[in-house]
Amino acid sequence: MRRLTRNDSDAARKITRRAMLLGSIQGALVGVLALRMRYLQVEQADQFKLLATENAIKIRLLPPARGLIHDRKGVVIAGNEQIYRVTITREDAEDVPTVLADLARLIALSDDEIARLMAEIDKRPPTLPITLADRLSWEEFSRIAVNEPALPGLTTEVGLSRFYPRGGDFAHVLGYVGPVSDYDLSKIQDPDPLLQIPKFQIGKLGMEAKLEDLLRGKAGARRIEVNVTGREMREIERREGDPGAIVRTTLDARLQNYVKARLGEESAAAVVLDLTEGDVLAIASAPSFDPNLFVRGISNADYKTLTENDHRPLADKTVQGAYPPGSTFKLVTALAALEAGVIGPGETVYCPGYMQLGNRKFHCWKKGGHGQVDLEFSLEQSCDVFYYDVAQRVGIDKIAEMARKLGLGVKHDLPMSAVTEGVAPSKDWKKERYGKDWQIGDTLNSAIGQGYVLASPLQLAVLAGRVATGRAIVPRLVRAINDKDVPSPEAPPLEIDPAHLQLVRNGMDRVMNGKHGTASASRTVDPTVLMAGKTGTSQVRNISVAERASGVVKNDALPWERRDHALFVCYAPVEAPRVAVALIVEHGGGGSTAAAPIARDILLQALYDGFPPLTAYPEGQRSRIEEERKSLPLAAPESFSKAKSRA
């Protein structure tokens, strides 16, 4: 037998050490597995027993509170209210038709409603809770809760729903929320699981829709134990969701309420701009509607009343409405002519009451004409022939360029629905749109804000603000998000000669304060708030040669829908402009009589942050103004308290 050598002994020792090391590692692994098995089988036994018994642990999404919307002073203009509802989960219900039939004995559910609910339940995942009824009374809610053990799959819940405490004041700017529809889901590539919950509310129009991602928030979740019949036994875990953002707007609730009251039942719209930062202080379309009707489910009768009203309460005239701006557009034509050098400060044009172009006459509003007219007087008296003349010399393309520089023909980026771009027509625009060449007659019509020119009240407010300040004012609606300020857009100086701007401002001053000003009846007399403005009247019908020969029919003698639109733009104070207003009264007649008085009242209300002293008005008007104030349907002052307005 061979004796072991020294090398053999060393090798044996190495093998023994390796075996011990390997054995130690294996032992450690077995120990870890044993401890893990003990943890799962002993310490977590109850938990896994629950999970294994009839899938007894359910996870339910918790809808977050929708973010609040405030005015600039913290008053809630879109909040939430507590509601009671009942839901059903098909997976947990033994017999859905029987459960619904039993529920119908406790609350009012018609056969049609039950059929609709069955269709909704069948097309949704069996694990998804379906809302059967919401906005239950406390008595209805209590009856269901008491009988809940006998109604498998049913759950009573206390939730939140959108509420608009200011009613119709902000209906057009805020819009409203409503249940998620299949159409809504089809527009979203990767929908939030929250949107799968039937009757979950999302923004449908206005700021509610445009700021949906900010306002919706993040879902929470609750883990609950249920028995084999689906009845909830206990809540195991609850994780609240993140509420939506609190959005502070630039709007002033009290001013908005006044504007809506002052517009009354006219078919009208007004926009009020702060000229320091471009804040939209008020933006109102009349008549309005109560957005709470849509949140709660508007009836066919109520909806029919809104859609059949010829004043179009559902339309937002402030940003969606595109109107011929009438003589307010003369501000654009005047600046285009001055910048092009085709007319100087003292140059005059003779107005005989019309301009002959070929075999057609383009008339001035004053049949006998204005005689010799310079630029400032042309604005004061709104002479049409002056602008026919200078427009031919400057050309439509330069007028269109100036219009865009002053905010017309531009889509302003506000979080509102269907914001119009309007039309600042040019030669290329007509060729592209209609396939026709531009005509000189088109230029003459455009020069006085008729023809193809279209603008919204928002754009006209921007026009007034830019002329007043000489800066490229940009309107904004959101002031802060979760108390973090949103920077106001830059407003660089306009690339327009300041001397030319001043000439136009002088003309607007004379419109209000000149001896022959078209809006002098609506002037202010307080020297600290003197106004500058421009009237506008835009035709909605053609006036035939025969009618002109026999005498143009006055607006009062025409059916309402054939009367002229009345427009007015203004700013104040003249020497240091702080606020601009644009207003249109559809089919109101003349801008000086129908629009200017309302715009003046709104402008003063904004400047004084409330009713101005009667001494701001001409002495002969003060008694009438005082009586008009008393008749306005204004909200109670205490309702604008920040503390009382939170929801």
Q: What is the pLDDT of residues 597-609, one digit of tens each?
A: 999 999 999 999 9
Binned at pLDDT 50, 70 and 90, residue 122 comes out as confident
Amino acid at 351: C
> Which CATH code is given to the segment(s) 66-214+241-249?
3.90.1310.10
Q: What pLDDT sits at residue 7?
A: 59
Checking if the pLDDT of 319 tops 70, the result is yes
- 239 against 526, higher pLDDT: 526
Checking if the pLDDT of 148 tops 50, the result is yes
Q: Within a 13 Å sphere around the CA of 594, how many CA atoms are in the beta-carbon half?
A: 25
Rounded to an integer, the average pLDDT of 58-66 is 81
- Overall size of the chain counted in residues: 647
| Contact (Cβ atoms closer than 8 angstroms) between residue 500 and residue 335 | yes
CA distance 132 to 114: 9
Instruction: Write out the DSSP string of 553-615.
Output: PPGGGS-GGGSPEEEEEEEE-SSS--EEEEEEETT---IIIIIHHHHHHHHHHHHHTSPPPGG
Mean of the per-residue pLDDT values of the chain: 90
- 551 against 576, higher pLDDT: 576
CA distance 275 to 466: 9
Q: How far is CA 84 from CA 174, 215, 347, 526, in A?
A: 25, 22, 73, 55
Check whether the bond before 287 is cis (ω within 30° of 0). Answer: yes
Binned at pLDDT 50, 70 and 90, residue 199 comes out as confident
Chain mean position to CA 373: 43
Checking if the pLDDT of 544 tops 80, the result is no
Q: What pLDDT sits at residue 557?
A: 80
Closest CA to 150 of 99, 88, 105, 109: 99
Binned at pLDDT 50, 70 and 90, residue 445 comes out as very high
Q: What pLDDT sits at residue 233?
A: 67
Residues with active-site annotation: 327
Angle (CA) 384-389-391 rounded to 5° is 95
- 199 against 143, higher pLDDT: 143
DSSP annotation of 619 = G
Which tens digit of pLDDT belongs to each residue from 556-582? 888 888 899 999 999 999 999 999 999
Other beta carbons within 10 Å of 134: 17
- 185 against 393, higher pLDDT: 393
Amino acid at 349: V
E strands, 76-117, are 76-88
Q: What pLDDT sits at residue 646?
A: 46
The pLDDT > 70 percentage for the chain reads: 91
CA distance 369 to 346: 19
- Residues facing residue 70 across a β-bridge: 76, 248
Rounded to an integer, the average pLDDT of 503-512 is 98
The pLDDT > 90 percentage for the chain reads: 67
- 619 against 199, higher pLDDT: 619
What pTM does this model have? 0.86
Angle (CA) 574-276-507 rounded to 5° is 25
